[in-house]
Structure 1
Amino acid sequence: MIIRKAVRVSKPSISSTKPRLIATIPVKSPAVHFAINPLTNRLYFIQGDNRLGVLDTVTNKVITTITIGKLPYNMAINTRTNRIYVSNFYDGTVSVINGRTNRVISTIKVGERSDNLAVNTRTNLIYVSTISLRSRNANLVVLNGATNNVHRTIPFQGRPSQIVVNAVTNRIYVTNTTTDTLAVIRGDTNKIIATRKVGRNPVITPVIDRKTNQLYVANNLSRYSSVVNLRTLRVRKVQLGRRQRDITLNPLTCRVYISSAQISVKGRIFVVSSRTNKVIGSLTVPAFTDVLINPRTNHLFVSKSTETGAVPLIVYHGSSLKPLKKLKVSAGSGSLLLNPLTNRIYVGGEKTISVIQD
């Protein structure tokens, strides 16, 4: 079954009602690394060493658990073809799942270890970063989603890490945590056309603001974030004074939210205007914080990753940064994911998935 309908996000309309907890779904092991296909109402989450859970977001019930490769690490979905791709780190493979039947239809060997991955929904190509245990070099492997075969292998000096695909321009951006660089790849030739220096340890997935045509890189070991002009590929620094942990973007208000990476002390969230690339606000938050913005309501969700007990999920107004509500969710991974069609946020826990209606 091929689904052609596009996912669109409407203009922001600040919600007059406050977010509320509507469901707590039990799971057998910690739910991490969420991915969602809003067109089929399915949420996918990694569990344990070799399992993928499938949640029906209409009934809020886990409908099946799929056995995949060893130590699954990350996943991506092609909503047009209803295929789910999971990188199995230990096996160096990618599992391909049919979203209609919930079955593994192919397991593709990509290298010694497979890391992150991303999908270009327009070209039906899947990009997978791999790691070599025998050398300092690795590859970005390109898979053909129609044939489930390796389409091309792009060699890297160092360790390719996070991957961002711009399907509109057919450009792929890959951070390198060994060389602290960003590689720019043409999607038609699958060749590196430029490399730019960014901050130290760019291990966090960057975000693209298509309105300003800029890519934002959060640097885990630098006290500044890197901003790349995607037309000129010029890189500038936005000084934050702290190392970074997470990043989220509201493309409708042109605001970027970057959290600090403090673990034992209180952290900060810095608000950067993508129009001026200046810090226009900041917020004190708990240590080890994950952040998510809902563009439609302009609500900023801040969660704390803990091992035990109920933890607060704090909701702020995305512009004024005033707190709106504090919700109690189960301790866990801190993983946050938004379904843009239903305005629901999913929070991963040790034994539960919490569902918030925004």
Structure 2
Amino acid sequence: MIIRKAVRVTKPRISLTKPRLIATIPVSSPAVQFAINPLTSRLYVIQGDNHLGVLDTKTNKIITTIQIGKMPSYMAVNTRTNRIYVSNFYDGTVSVINGLTNRVISTIKVGERSDHIAVNTHTNLVYVSTISLRSRNANLVVLNGATNKIHSKIPFKGRPSQILVNALTNRIYVTNTTTDTLAVVRGDTNKIIATRKVGRNPVITPVLDRKTNQLYVANNLSRYSSVVNLRTLHVRKVHLGRRQREIAINPLTCRIYISSAQISVKGRLFVLNSRTNKVIGSLTVPAFSDVLINPRTNHLFVSESTETGAVPLIVYHGSSLKPLAKLKVSAGSGSLLLNPCTNRIYVGGEKTITVIQD
């Protein structure tokens, strides 16, 4: 099933209504990881040690649960082919799911352990970072989405971690948490063409600003974020706080949001102007929080992760950083995901998924 539609993000607007809670969906296990195909109105949520829940976003009901591999960790969706890819960490496999039938159509062994996963919708290639328990070397495994077979393996010294695909330039960017570097891979040859030093433990998925052609890397154990000029591959440091946890971008307002979450005290959320790469604002945020920006409304959502009780989800204006609303969501809330077609935000919880209309 080939879906040729494209998801378009319009210019930001001033919302006349505040975000509101419209549904609470019970789940059998904590909802900690989301993926969505907005073209089919299906949201996918990892449930427990080896299951994937499929949510119909029109009815807000779980329509089926699919058994996959052990310890699923990350997901990627190819909206053109309606295929969902789940990286099963413990198995070292990738489950390929047909979004039309909600069935696993292939399970691909990629290594000892499989980690992050990303897809290039233009080339129908899937990239999976693997971990070796027996050596200091690992691979970035490239899968052919048409055949569900391994296309090639790109060797890495250390641990390839987070992957970002730029489908327009056919470049793949991979962080390495052992060598504290960023690798640049050519998508046509699947070879590393450059490696640049970044900060310590770049374990957060980078974000790309296509307007300025810059890649932003949050460094978990450094007091700065790395900004990579993708034309020259020059790396610039922007000094922030340590324990960087989340990074988000509003490409329409040229704002980058990076949280610096502490262990036992409140953290900070820093706002960068991507044109100048200077900090232009900051907020105090919970020690363990997740961040999402809705480009269409310019609303910034900050959720707190706790084990018990209802917790606040704070909504800020993305430019002025003024608080706009406070919503109560369930314990364990953390994962945030936006459906760009409906302007709905999904908040993961210990026993529920909260749906918010922005």
TM-score, normalization by structure 2? 0.99
Alignment of 1:293 with 2:309, yes or no, is no
Alignment of 1:219 with 2:219, yes or no, is yes
Residue pair 2:204, 2:219 contacting (<8 A) in 1 also: yes
Greater Cα shift, 258-267 or 272-281: 258-267
Distance in 1, Cα, partners of 2:5 & 2:107: 27
RMSD: 0.6
Residue pair 1:4, 1:80 contacting (<8 A) in 2 also: yes
What runs of 5+ residues in structure 1 fail to find an aligned partner? none
Q: In the TM superposition, what whole-angstrom CA distance separates every residue of 1:236-268 from its partner, at most 9, and x where no partner exists?
A: 000113331100000000000000121310111
Find the counterpart in structure 2 of residue 117 from structure 1: 117
Deviation of 1:333 (Å): 4.5
Greater Cα shift, 237-246 or 115-124: 237-246
Residue pair 2:303, 2:333 contacting (<8 A) in 1 also: no
Distance in 2, Cα, partners of 1:145 & 1:209: 27
Distance in 1, Cα, partners of 2:218 & 2:331: 25
Superposition map of 1:57-136 within 5 A: 57-136=57-136
Name the SS of the counterpart of 1:32 in structure 2. Answer: coil
Find the counterpart in structure 1 of residue 24 from structure 2: 24
Distance in 2, Cα, partners of 1:97 & 1:241: 40
Residue pair 1:112, 1:132 contacting (<8 A) in 2 also: yes
* Paired amino acid for 1:79: T
Residue pair 2:140, 2:156 contacting (<8 A) in 1 also: yes
Summarize the Cα distance change of 1:333–1:116 in structure 2 as closer, same or farther, 3 Å threshold: farther
Find the counterpart in structure 1 of residue 35 from structure 2: 35
Alignment of 1:307 with 2:307, yes or no, is yes
Superposition map of 1:45-64 within 5 A: 45-64=45-64
* Paired amino acid for 2:345: I
Distance in 2, Cα, partners of 1:209 & 1:314: 25
Find the counterpart in structure 2 of residue 148 from structure 1: 148
Deviation of 1:322 (Å): 0.3
Residue pair 1:245, 1:260 contacting (<8 A) in 2 also: yes
Name the SS of the counterpart of 1:236 in structure 2. Answer: strand
Distance in 1, Cα, partners of 2:243 & 2:231: 27
Distance in 2, Cα, partners of 1:261 & 1:204: 13
Superposition map of 1:180-195 within 5 A: 180-195=180-195
Find the counterpart in structure 2 of residue 167 from structure 1: 167
Distance in 2, Cα, partners of 1:260 & 1:177: 18
Distance in 2, Cα, partners of 1:341 & 1:209: 21
The aligned length equals: 358
Structure 1 residue runs of 4 or more that deviate by more than 3 Å after TM superposition: none
Residue pair 1:30, 1:333 contacting (<8 A) in 2 also: no
Q: In the TM superposition, what whole-angstrom CA distance separates every residue of 1:25-55 from its partner, at most 9, and x where no partner exists?
A: 0000001210000000000010100000000
Name the SS of the counterpart of 1:101 in structure 2. Answer: coil
Percent identical among aligned pairs is 88
